[in-house]
Amino acid sequence: MLDFLGYEFMRNALMAGVLASVICGIVGTLVVIRRIVSLSGSVSHSAFGGIGLGYYLGVNPLHGALVFSIASAIGIGAVSKYAKEREDTVIGMFWAAGMAIGILAIGLTPGYAPDLFGYLFGSIISVPASDLLLILALDLFVIGTVALLYKEMMAVAFDEEYATVSGLPVKFLYYLTLVLVAITIVALIRIVGIILAIALLTIPAAISGKLTHDMRKMMVLSIVLSIALITTGLWMSFILDIESGATIIILSAVSYAVMTAALRIRARGKPQST
Amino acid sequence: MAEEIIRLENVTVAFDGETVLDKINFAVYEKDCVGIIGPNGSGKTTLLRLILGLVAPDSGRVSILGMAPEKGRRFVGYVPQFIEFDKTFPISVWEFAMLGRLPGSPLARRFNDADRRKTEEALRRVDLLHLRDRQLGVLSGGERQRAYIARALASDPKVLLMDEPTANIDEKMERGFYDLLAELRKEIAVILVSHDISIITVNVDKIACLNKQLFMHLPSEINDEVLEKTYKCPVEMLAHGVPHRVLKEHEHGGGR
């Protein structure tokens, strides 16, 4: 079972999985408790615009995605929340417009975009060392930010009005959360691709949320679950010779369903529990 | 002379050309206990939001301890109306009460022993310390209200501002609430805002009747006429369940 670790690309893949899981667990928890899952889905898909521009400008598409998704995250937040436009309309627009920009840019780029499919659906077994370093840097940024502003993030997530009355910079913290989402998406592109990233961002946190009522524990548990899901999915895809990104996502969704069903059955056993 | 905590001078607020508050003058001094009553749509929420600095007056001035509300509100312990919140939100009673230590605190400051002491004291005050590790969402209505009061008290407020404090608690809890209030008002000013006139059965020092305009009364002056002016309908329609200390019985009776 462990023979797949004999390959260097597999060790790199696992390293990428662990590094991405750290961000994914922390930010996924914030996304789930703030209920900004579809907003995050929009940020994720619009990151494709950055990938396309990366190709067009001849820079690392991941760098393009980082800049572009941070910009679109702030854009979505500003338009939906503070320009008082309907949030779900704005989310849908950014979702498609970002992808459209990516498609145009790739169309304008001479030649063939070699690993386009990998950016869309993940290519964890071909992560170059430079991308590992990028994900590591993103890890440090996310850990540092959330460690410093943990209670402030909790306060705004729980009740924005009270946070405002408490004198917290609510807008800044909102945009900062969206920037963290954008960063997470970029870290997940290599693992599952931009199309599937939203599932890996939210499923571990959604499962942990059912198991603990402590935000810190929820973050840690999400990280552990995310590592477990990525590793298991990767191993399954290896022995079955199927797409790794899609395997990880399906495994995650099935885990969520099984966990939810198991908890319901257990709750039915004890009629008093709520 | 008693210190002035909150002052509204000639405050007018209009939304889309419709006047919501009309030339309000209102002051609260230290250890005052003021009840503000008014029907739905009388501007109560706007008045609260003015004090909290969430709404700016179109004319007139609001000040808290001589400061603009944005600065002074850190001295206001705000207890919001019983709100539906996400019951699954991962926050414990302790963490929730701790949020009361955020006002006036610079960003990213670590909580220290003094913060923890204040929080502990506030939770003990409302008799909730034994539930400190409980998830906020599983508390009963009365416990939750006490948690909100603890969060407000943790911030060391000069005035406690309570929005519809008795709206969602049952009669038994209401008594506990009034006992707690009797304790608190010895130390800080308290403002109770409610559409429910039974709130004035609390031994308040002053009562403000609000319906776009605001009139201050001493509790002894409150009678049917005053209430009818505020509510613009016969008091008996509002008065069910209100002890007769406040409202004399109508001859034609008939309860509600």
Beta bridge partners of B4: B29
Q: How deeply is B191 buried, as exposed, middle or buried, from its count of CB atoms within 10 A (0-12, 13-18, 19+)?
A: buried
Comparing CA positions, the residue from B193, B188, B195 lying closest to residue B77 is B188
Please tell me if residue A213 touches chain B, with a CB cutoff of 8 Å: yes
Average pLDDT over residues A244-263: 95
pLDDT in the model for residue B202:
64
The answer to whether the CB atoms of B96 and A158 lie below 8 A apart is yes
Q: Name the residue with higher pLDDT: A124 or B236.
A: A124
User: pLDDT tens for residues B146-158?
Assistant: 999 999 999 999 9
Of B76, B85, B95, the CB nearest to A159: B85
Kindly provide the b/e burial profile for residues A17-26, where b requires at least 16 CB atoms within 10 angstroms of the residue's own CB.
Answer: bbbbbbbbbb
pLDDT at A153 over 90: yes
> Do residues B60 and B113 make contact, with C-beta atoms less than 8 angstroms apart?
no
Asked which of A17-21, A175-179, B161-165 is least confident by mean pLDDT, the reply is B161-165
Q: Distance from A172 to chain B by nearest Cα, in Å?
A: 11
The 3-state secondary structure of chain A reads CHHHHHCHHHHHHHHHHHHHHHHHHHHHHHHHHHCCHHHHHHHHHHHHHHHHHHHHHCCCHHHHHHHHHHHHHHHHHHHHHHCCCCHHHHHHHHHHHHHHHHHHHHHHCCCCCCCHHHHHHCCHHHCCHHHHHHHHHHHHHHHHHHHHCHHHHHHHHHCHHHHHHCCCCHHHHHHHHHHHHHHHHHHHHHHHHHHHHHHHHHHHHHHHHHHCCCHHHHHHHHHHHHHHHHHHHHHHHHHHCCCHHHHHHHHHHHHHHHHHHHHHHHHHHCCCCC
Q: Is the pTM of this model over 0.80?
A: yes
Which of B89, B107, B135 is nearest residue A149 as measured by Cβ atoms? Answer: B107
Query: Which chain A residue has its CA at the smallest distance from B48's CA?
Result: A165
Q: Residue range A77-104: average pLDDT?
A: 90
Place of tokens 């145009």: A104
Q: Each residue of A173-191: pLDDT tens digit?
A: 999 999 999 999 999 998 9
Residues from chain B contacting residue A274 (CB–CB below 8 Å): 138
**Whole-Å CA distances, B103 to A28, B65, B70:** 27, 16, 11
Structure tokens at B249: 């019985």
pLDDT at B232: 60
Each residue of A62-90: b (16+ CB within 10 Å) or e? bbbbbbbbbbbbbbbbbbbbeeeeebeeb
Q: What is the pLDDT of residue A85?
A: 83
Q: Which of A146, A151, A153 to mutate to test the interface with B (most CBs of B within 10 A)?
A: A151
What's the pLDDT at B216? 81
Rounded-to-integer distance, Cα A184 and Cα B141, Å: 38
As a whole number of angstroms, the distance between CA B130 and CA A105 comes to 61
State in words which class domain B4-217 has: alpha beta
**CB proximity A149 to B under 8 Å:** yes
Give me B172's structure tokens.
């038994």
Tell me if B108 and A167 make a contact (CB, 8 A cut-off). no
Distance from CA of B120 to the nearest CA of A (A): 17
Stretch A201-205: mean pLDDT: 96
| pLDDT tens sequence across B67-119 | 999 999 999 999 988 767 888 999 999 999 999 999 988 898 999 999 999 99
Interface contact A158-B89, CB threshold 8 A? yes
Q: A218 contacts in B (CB within 8 Å)?
A: 90
Find, in chain A, the residue whose alpha carbon is nearest to that of B52: A165
Distance of CA A147 to the CA centre of its chain: 19
Q: In what helix (H) or strand (E) does residue B64 lie, and over which residues does it extend?
A: strand B59-64
Considering only CA atoms, which of A105, A94, A188, A108 is closest in space to residue A142?
A188
From A64-68, B94-98, B137-141, B248-252, the region with the lowest mean pLDDT: B248-252
**Percent of chain A predicted with pLDDT > 90:** 77
CATH classification of A2-265, choosing from 1.10.3470.10, 1.10.3720.10, 3.90.1010.10, 1.20.1240.10?
A: 1.10.3470.10
Residue from the list A155, A169, A274 with its beta carbon closest to the beta carbon of B99 = A155
- Residue B244's pLDDT is 36
Of B74, B91, B135, the CB nearest to A154: B91
Q: What would the pLDDT profile of B203-227 be if each residue is shown by its tens digit? A: 688 888 888 888 887 776 666 666 6
Mean pLDDT comparison of A29-38, A108-117, B101-110, B243-252, highest-scoring range = A29-38
Give the model's pLDDT for residue B208.
87
Confidence of residue A271 (pLDDT cuts 50, 70, 90): low
| Interface mutation vs chain B, best among A162, A168, A208, A211, most B CBs within 10 Å | A162
- What average pLDDT score do residues A112-130 get? 86
Q: Of the segments A65-74, A260-269, B230-239, which one has the largest average pLDDT value?
A: A65-74
Whole-number mean pLDDT of chain A?
Answer: 92
**Is A164 in Cβ contact with B98 (below 8 Å)?**
no
- Compute how many other C-beta atoms are within 10 angstroms of the C-beta atom of residue A45: 25
Residue with tokens 């789930």: A32
pLDDT of residue A5: 73
Arithmetic mean of pLDDT, A237-266? 94
Answer whether residue B242 shows pLDDT above 60: no
Judged by DSSP in three states, B135 sits in strand
The closest of B229, B225, B169, B228 to B199, measured between CA atoms, is B169
Query: Token match 């309908």: residue?
Result: B233
